[in-house]
Chains A and B, each alone.
Chain A
Amino acid sequence: MIADGFTVEVFQNEFLPAGGAEVNAVVTVTSLADSPATAEQPARQQQPGRAEIIIVDCSRSMASPSAKIAAARAATVAAIDVIRDGVAFALVAGTHRARPVWPPDGSLAVASDQARRDAREAAARLAADGGTAIGQWLRLAHTMFTTHPAALRHAILLTDGKNEHEAAADLDAAIDACEGVFSCDCRGVGTDWEVSELRRISARLLGTVDIVPDPAGLAADFAAMMTTAMGKQLGDVALRVWTPQHAMVKFVKQVAPMVEDLSDRAAPQGAQAGDYPTGAWGPGESRDYHVCVQVSPASIGQEMLAARVSLLAGPEVLGQGLVRAIWTDDEALSTRLNSQVAHYTGQAELAQSIQDGLEARKRGDEEVATASLGRAVALAHESGNEDTARLLAKVVEVVDAPTGTVRLKKAVADADEMALDTRSVKTVRTRK
């Protein structure tokens, strides 16, 4: 179904056996490259527009080695360079507290040649001295964003260490406050930061998380992130899932380009629908969602609408797809697995197996680690997820990929383990 430049396609086996109650579907949402909703139009540009804040870790550890703070300065400059004219932006230095670096008064500057030049100079003076309290950084960004009416608010957060100078609850509370206010891409440089900490931030704030093991790679990564952010045209898009009376949404997961469980993120819309946040979209973007609904079974031969999945920007419906259920006594129909559903069930299991395996490995449970990572190798092989297979091969010795026979490597570089952990959620698509 096409509406306003978004397509919503549903892939499922709608046939259920007698008494079958679980309906699975993969919903592919694509914004067309020339979509009227996401394309750059003068009318939309005049709207509140966008705001960007770059948050750079300036804790003492960023100075050892000094290449880290130097790379952070260069990366910040690279990101500033791709901020477009007219975009509101600011730099924040994060230590055990947060300090506005540019503009120094904690406001947002409007990007122009002069403003970018001034910001670059300020970035070049970033110095490493202090602790790490990421919640404080997020809170300052929150305050700065809320003074500005921009529709698309995005932050880049860079750290090299653990959140040591505040309680975990402080960080959680800060994330709570920021949810829905801005999106945040997180990057960890080096190997002394905590994957789970940054993942928590990026997941709730609808951003990405990645490791930049070598500081030299930071500038290119920052420029790429900022370029992607500049391409977003429509913010706060929600996936609304309507289900019939007596039905229950079992889960809603984004499954491509990466796995992100949205199940507990629904904002109820009346008694029968919930809105799941999907964040901001740019033209040509495509994502897949796995929706699983439990319905009360009807009799053989009957058909039911198990879910109506709509894409919304504010009150505007951008697209809609129907998830159906038909009860049949023909086993040939009801036992057929939909290839999309099967594929993404596997990709979600792949991500989970990696995370389970790495956790087991950390606590010294070699048996569970070997089994989980072996299962991951088999799944990555089977689904053709070559990037993940390559990352796995740095942590385990693959004896036989199809059966998932592996041996744990004795010496694994921290960077390889963290890269596998952060990128475990990345999925591949199947041909449709």
Chain B
Amino acid sequence: MTTCQHGHDSADEDFCQVCGIRIDATALVAGSASGSATTAAGAAETCPACGAERTGQFCEACGLDFQTTEPVPSAPKASPAVPSPRRPQPAWAAVVTADREHYERVRAEGSPEAAKIEFPAYCPVRRFPLSGEEMRIGRRSVSRGLAPEIDLTGPPTDPGVSHLHAVLTPEPDGSWALLDPGSSNGTRINGTEIPAGARIPLLHGDQVCIGAWTTMQILLG
């Protein structure tokens, strides 16, 4: 384990596996010195969020930042090393993508509206940092004076997403919860339809599927 000039831990010795910068062999900081959870948790570690093999500071599969995330509960407690002073605050974000699996599932359910919706040929990945007192998910509407914080107006626009589809609100511990106030087509979290009006606390890596093809991944770090 080495550290690049930007402070990223990298298992790759040549290029940082986070930012890609060439790691200068003479400027290396031995990874073990930081005594982070990464080294304390032992060999053959996996990402607590998605289970992918763990190499370096960020999960290669889901992007979880191991430094700012609590270690796996079952793993031995991290050694009482001095916490790094430059440890950043955990930051939550919603990453929105067009999700073909979700799209196929919706289509397979055979609603006539869904059959008319095309999967977008191109959809940029949109990342929304979560902050403030509430984050509304929807599509802006000039006529209704609605400008949701997470505005999914395209192109491409998923017609199955309601103008006000769901709301994210912060929990006391800094994580976020989701509430669907009664959108036309509902919301699924990790494949399960959630009841309207219920506050569902979200965990890192949760998949929130709305509309015909929109999937929002909730990520910490």
Contacts and interface: CB of A to CB of B under 8 A. Distances in A.
Contact of A270 (B18, B19, B59, B118): B59
Contact of A271 (B19, B20, B63): B63
Nearest to A267: B100
Interface string B66-102: 0000000000000000000000000000010100100
Interface string A291-315: 0000100100011111000000000
A322 B20 CA distance: 11
28 contacts: A173-B115, A173-B118, A176-B118, A176-B119, A243-B20, A244-B16, A244-B20, A244-B21, A245-B19, A245-B58, A247-B20, A264-B121, A264-B122, A267-B100, A268-B97, A268-B125, A270-B62, A271-B63, A271-B95, A271-B219, A272-B60, A273-B60, A302-B21, A303-B22, A304-B22, A305-B16, A305-B20, A305-B22
Secondary structure call for the A interface: mixed
Given A244-B19, A303-B22, 11 more contacts: A243-B20, A244-B16, A246-B19, A247-B20, A264-B121, A264-B122, A271-B63, A272-B63, A304-B15, A304-B20, A305-B22
Contacts of A295: 20
Given A270-B61, A271-B62, A298 B95 contact: no
B31 to A, nearest CB: 19
Contacts of B115: 173
A244 to B, nearest CB: 3
A172 B20 contact: no
Interface in A146-179: 169, 172-173, 176
* The 3 nearest A-B residue pairs measured at CB: A244-B20, A271-B63, A305-B15
Contacts of B118: 169, 172-173, 176
A387 to B, nearest CB: 30
A143 interface: no
Interface in B110-145: 115, 118-119, 121-122, 125
A270 B17 CA distance: 13
Interface of B: 14-16, 18-22, 52, 58-63, 95, 97, 100, 115, 118-119, 121-122, 125, 219
B51 to A, nearest CB: 12
Contacts of A271: 62-63, 95, 219
A172 B118 CA distance: 9
Interface string A242-270: 01111100000000000000011001111
Contact of B18 (A244, A264, A302, A303): A244
Contacts of A268: 97, 125
Contacts of B15: 303-305, 322
Interface of A: 169, 172-173, 176, 243-247, 263-264, 267-273, 295, 298, 302-306, 322
B22 A269 contact: no
Contacts of B16: 244, 305
Contact of B60 (A169, A267, A270): A270
A302 B22 contact: yes
A367 B212 CA distance: 44
B61 A298 contact: no
A35 B215 CA distance: 40
B63 A303 contact: no
B171 to A, nearest CB: 24
Contacts of A264: 121-122
Contacts of B14: 305
Nearest to A307: B20
A176 B98 CA distance: 14
A267 B103 CA distance: 14
Contacts of B21: 244, 298, 302-305
A284 B44 CA distance: 37
A302 B19 CA distance: 12
Contacts of A172: 118
Nearest to B15: A305
Nearest to B14: A305
Nearest to B98: A268
Nearest to B8: A245
A243 B18 CA distance: 9
Interface centre among A169, A245, A247, A271 (most CB of B within 10 A): A271
Contacts of B59: 270
A244 B6 CA distance: 13
B87 to A, nearest CB: 18
Contacts of A269: 61
Nearest to B12: A305
A222 to B, nearest CB: 31
Nearest to B217: A271
Contacts of A304: 15, 19-22
A306 B219 CA distance: 24
A81 B51 CA distance: 49
B44 to A, nearest CB: 17
Interface centre among A169, A172, A270, A303 (most CB of B within 10 A): A270
Nearest to A244: B20
Contacts of B52: 270
A268 B102 CA distance: 14
A182 to B, nearest CB: 16
A292 to B, nearest CB: 15
Contacts of A246: 19
A303 B52 CA distance: 28
B125 A245 contact: no
B119 to A, nearest CB: 6
A60 to B, nearest CB: 30
A271 B220 CA distance: 12
A176 B213 CA distance: 14
Nearest to A172: B118
A413 to B, nearest CB: 34
